[in-house]
Structure 1
Amino acid sequence: MRSPSSHESCTRRDVLKQAAFGSLAVAATGMSSVLAVNQKSPPLRVISYNVYNCTGWPKDRALANKATNLGQMPDRFAHELALYEPDIINFSESPSEDMVKEIANRLGMNYVRFPSGGNWPGTLLSRFEIVEPKNVPMVEGERPHDLFTRHWGQATIKLPNGEPLIVHSAHLHPSVEPDIRLREIPLMLKSMKRDFNVGQSMLLIGDLNHTPDTKEYKLWVDAGWTDTFAKVGKGDGMTIKADKPQRRIDYVMAAGPIAKQIEESRPLFEGAFRTNIEDPKSFALSDHLPQLAVFE
């Protein structure tokens, strides 16, 4: 039998090499696919919280006063919120900026404040970079003196995947009559229209001071906002007050692609966020409960 020439031997070796490299490439591709699945981004966790100026509720309870006077409230708020590993938090009825800064530092968060038309500023906090903050971002004209006397602000949060997330932080007027809120909401929707039109992911977070059975709520839904609790929540979802919740007025709403990624939404009627009604000395961190929403 004829021995193979050196040229033929090289050719066979090349073929075997290519086959081996091909197998490695297929294996590597398969491993990359597994890693891609296993390295899926963690969920985005969002909390809406009217913090009652961080004074504790009821504020006339001796222990609430003592905790405030001892300067414990920044620690108490930060420790309790940290249990839920939030990425974004919205404060309505925010405390002083010094206290906000302490809470943000303890949570490892950035923050922006939205001045109030009265004495109820808002604050947006996030583990991620916050850019382009705007207070009362009306499309045209100045803020009417009787509107947005609590707060309304807008900012962009840069998510880890590089996508921008537009966040509207809001606390609407608390009047029993809806007239003022029914004037506030159309101005807000007008400023949101461009982002709706381009399919931008947006969140609306805050104490909206109306329940889901109102004209105000219908305006949001008709405009395209998804109420995260109505979508996936269980039970009645009441958020006020922190002893016996009877109304749902705190929301995390979503629009655009993020509205299809809602995993969980619930009020946090637990821990230090609520009082023990059988203990006349107990106090909650606020009269409201935080509303938690989780997105894929």
Structure 2
Amino acid sequence: MKLGVIGLGTVGMNVIKILTEEKDRRNKEIGDIEILKVCDIKSDNSMGYDFTDNYKEILDDPRIDTVVELIGGVGAAYDISKSTLNSKKNLVTANKHLLALHGKELFSLAEKNNVKLQYEASVGGGIPVISPIKENLFVNNFKNIRGILNGTCNYILTKMEEGMSYSKALEDAQLKGYAEADPTFDVKGVDTAHKISILAHLAWGELKEFSEISIVGIDGLTKNDIEIAKSNGLRYKLLGEANFDGCELSIRVAPVAVKKDELLYSVNGVYNAVELDGNYTGKTIFYGEGAGGNATATAVISDIYKINLGG
């Protein structure tokens, strides 16, 4: 397998680092994987690999059969993804925003061109949840999927339960690096909506129009709301929930007061969790830190391995 990596941010650099460090063991187990070229518009810290600031050099290189897109957003990433698939190259991405808005087109292009589109890192970072739904639990008729899918919001809600105001909790999250300087997508529930949309597509084969998803964030919750819930033995969590009644798929994102006997009640801090309710397996939960360079890079690399193994 010959790779081109586009995007040398935290995740991209960790992908290159891990692939380089694990090269000998990896190649012995699953065959040769070679990074031919890396691309970024800002950094040339390529760790010795052939570097370019023009992603078209990777797309036009006939030697490269798999492109790893790690720049995020839906501008250049959308063009890169379409061009990759139309060039009959495999695509690995961690871009939930891209898939939630343009997934129908991209999945169709991958099928049309007989190439792979892998996206394990798009939901839950290093928590393996995409592959289990596709490969291990697919026989289920899922009743419901719900999850705590944004570590930033979960951290803020945990701190509010400990006595902080919303603004102080957000400031604390930013100081610790858990929240972006502009946390809008996180606190308004948009990031969670991207992720639950992808999970619903996996479970029921339908990618809902993003404008049809009901989205309420945590920015309207007050310290008093948290205290009232706490006094009643409840704990607010920002949940992404998807249900299919056999005819219609409904998806919503909103703060929900969770009861003590529910699996998601004890998921605190920056941790994420996804709860699947299948007709054969019952409730299954996937739990872990939903972000971080190494964790997300591990999910990206698992997709690279699968393609190399013919998965």
TM-score using structure 2 length:
0.26
The structure having more radius of gyration, on CA atoms, is 1
TM-score using structure 1 length:
0.27
